[in-house]
């Protein structure tokens, strides 16, 4: 697992929202406890007494996957406004003062399929912390003066991203990979939409998605589950259900599959080092959860120093970095090759990437030892990721939003069950011989020397 790609076999997410009885087969790790309140709010308590702290998190099935071009970026702005003002703390100054009184460390994140908010504080402040979270999630106040300040902050994040050539390349890749539904995969948003956002638009988001039956509350740390459940019900129990499943009422349109390879060369004066990227529409949890697991194993194999991919590109000096990744998603995750090529060997690097892609279906491209090494790495990564109690809610809620709680519980074991046939099925279904988007970002001066468009093109294949 990495920051950009955290991973996923059995229960469909929508099935988890119906009744308590639907969880008869729910499996959770040791020390994890689940309960669903009458209003539909799912609560997970993680007992972990490594340190005398508690972390509380609310995760909502919201993010760019719910956004059309009129709202793109406003889930992210909504996340920022969460920490501004609410019924109990009517100014940001009072809200921040309360976080200081609680000794809280806090933050929020917005992705394609999840928005989450979390606070970590002394375990004795658990009740006060839950009340604080309750006020922020249920009773926000969107003051125009606060929004005016925060629009600048959010758009500033966007502008900082644009100063990175890798960001520029990724945005252009996504526009071509997702077509008319690009906004559904673009959490950062659109400048004009961010800068003209209103309190009324914030309320539209709240009234669509911010309900207990579309949210997960996690309480983690030096706590007892029975006591934590009582606190949760006392504080959040009167939060009214929407009476509908927001994802059903506001359905997510289907992404159109690519029909042909799409190449582009983008010149940028800030691209002192050229970057290459190749992207495919990979598996979706809803339609092929098994391949989401195989994708992680194969990506890890490709990243091994002993892999033929690394030896052909990095060891031979054609690139300083070459990696493969898959982003686990409920609604089609991208599979991406990212390469930092040797500027003096751009064409040779590109040619070798295409050669390697054509070899991926060969049965001897990777060994059984490499498969086992990849599985061991994924196991160690999971163990390392779970060493810090305050990080556990965020790891779990990612899976809850994009896959299921069972997936979260079982994914590390499922990695160990992946076979060579499973990997080949993933590759044949989504990668080998399938249309992709290929992008190269390069400085104008370097492009004058190498004329990248002469070789970095679909016509060359």
Whole-prediction pTM: 0.92
Q: How confident is the model over 344-363, as a mean pLDDT?
A: 96
Give Rg (Cα) of the chain: 23
- List pLDDT tens digits, range 406-434: 999 999 999 999 999 999 999 999 999 99
Closest by CA to 176, choosing from 265, 268, 252, 262, is 262
Domains of the chain with CATH codes: 31-249 (3.30.830.10), 262-460 (3.30.830.10)
Q: How confident is the model over 347-363, as a mean pLDDT?
A: 96
User: Does 372 score more than 60 pLDDT?
Assistant: yes
- List pLDDT tens digits, range 125-172: 999 999 999 999 999 999 999 999 999 999 999 999 999 999 999 999
Q: Note the pLDDT of residue 389.
A: 96
Closest by CA to 112, choosing from 60, 64, 70, is 64
Instruction: Give dist(CA 224, CA 219) in Å, integer.
Output: 10
Q: State whether residue 293 is helix, strand or coil.
A: helix
User: Does 25 score more than 60 pLDDT?
Assistant: yes
- List pLDDT tens digits, range 332-352: 999 999 999 999 999 999 999
Instruction: Give percent of the chain above pLDDT 90.
Output: 93
98-135 exposure pattern, b = at least 16 Cβ within 10 A, e = fewer = bbeebebebebbbbbbbbbbbbbbbeebbeebbbbbbb
Band (pLDDT 50/70/90 cuts) for residue 24 is low
Q: How confident is the model over 313-340, as a mean pLDDT?
A: 98
User: Does 298 score more than 90 pLDDT?
Assistant: yes
User: Does 259 score more than 50 pLDDT?
Assistant: yes
- Contact in structure between 319 and 342 (CB atoms under 8 Å): yes
User: How many other β-carbons are positioned within 10 Å of the β-carbon of residue 451?
Assistant: 12
Give the CA angle between residues 414, 418, 424 to the nearest 5°.
140
From start to end of 147-261, where are the E strands? 215-221
User: How many other β-carbons are positioned within 10 Å of the β-carbon of residue 454?
Assistant: 11
């Amino acid at each position: 697992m990495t920051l950009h790609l955290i991973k996923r076999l059995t229960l469909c997410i929508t099935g988890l929202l119906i009744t308590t009885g639907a969880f008869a087969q729910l499996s959770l790790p040791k020390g994890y406890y689940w309960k669903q309140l009458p209003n539909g709010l799912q609560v997970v308590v993680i007992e972990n007494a490594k340190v005398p702290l508690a972390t509380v998190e609310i995760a909502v099935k919201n993010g760019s996957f719910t956004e059309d071009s009129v709202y793109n970026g406003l889930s992210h702005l909504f996340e920022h406004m969460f920490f501004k003002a609410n019924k109990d703390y009517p100014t940001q100054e009072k809200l921040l003062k309360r976080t200081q009184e609680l000794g809280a460390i806090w933050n929020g994140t917005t992705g394609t399929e999840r928005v989450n908010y979390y606070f970590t504080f002394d375990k004795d402040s658990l009740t006060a912390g839950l009340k604080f979270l309750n006020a922020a999630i249920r009773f926000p106040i969107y003051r125009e003066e606060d929004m005016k300040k925060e629009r600048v902050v959010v758009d500033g994040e966007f502008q900082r991203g644009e100063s990175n050539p890798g960001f520029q390349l990724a945005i252009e890749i996504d526009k071509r990979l997702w077509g008319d539904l690009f906004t559904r995969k673009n959490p950062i948003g659109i400048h004009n939409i961010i800068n003209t956002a209103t309190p009324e638009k914030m309320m539209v988001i709240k009234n669509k998605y911010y309900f207990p039956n579309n949210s997960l509350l996690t309480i983690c740390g030096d706590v007892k589950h029975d006591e934590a459940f009582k606190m949760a019900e006392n504080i959040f129990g009167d939060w009214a259900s929407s009476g509908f499943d927001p994802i059903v009422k506001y359905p997510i349109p289907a992404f159109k599959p690519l029909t042909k390879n799409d190449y582009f060369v983008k010149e940028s004066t800030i691209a002192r080092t050229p970057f290459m990227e190749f992207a495919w529409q990979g598996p979706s949890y809803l339609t092929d959860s098994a391949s989401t697991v195989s994708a992680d194993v194969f990506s890890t194999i490709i990243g091994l120093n002993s892999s033929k991919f690394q030896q052909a590109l990095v060891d031979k000096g054609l690139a300083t970095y070459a990696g493969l990744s898959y982003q686990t998603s409920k609604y089609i995750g991208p599979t991406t090759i990212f390469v930092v090529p040797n500027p003096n060997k751009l064409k040779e690097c590109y040619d070798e990437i295409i050669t390697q892609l054509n070899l991926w279906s060969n049965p001897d491209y990777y060994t059984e030892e490499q498969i086992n090494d990849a599985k061991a790495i994924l196991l160690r990564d999971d163990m390392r990721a779970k060493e810090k109690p305050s990080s556990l809610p965020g790891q779990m809620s990612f899976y809850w939003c994009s896959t299921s709680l069972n997936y979260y519980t079982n994914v590390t074991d499922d990695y160990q069950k992946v076979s060579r046939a499973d990997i080949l099925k993933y590759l044949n279904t989504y990668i080998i011989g399938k249309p992709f988007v290929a992008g190269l970002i390069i400085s104008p001066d370097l492009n004058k020397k190498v004329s990248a468009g002469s070789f970095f093109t679909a016509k060359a294949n």
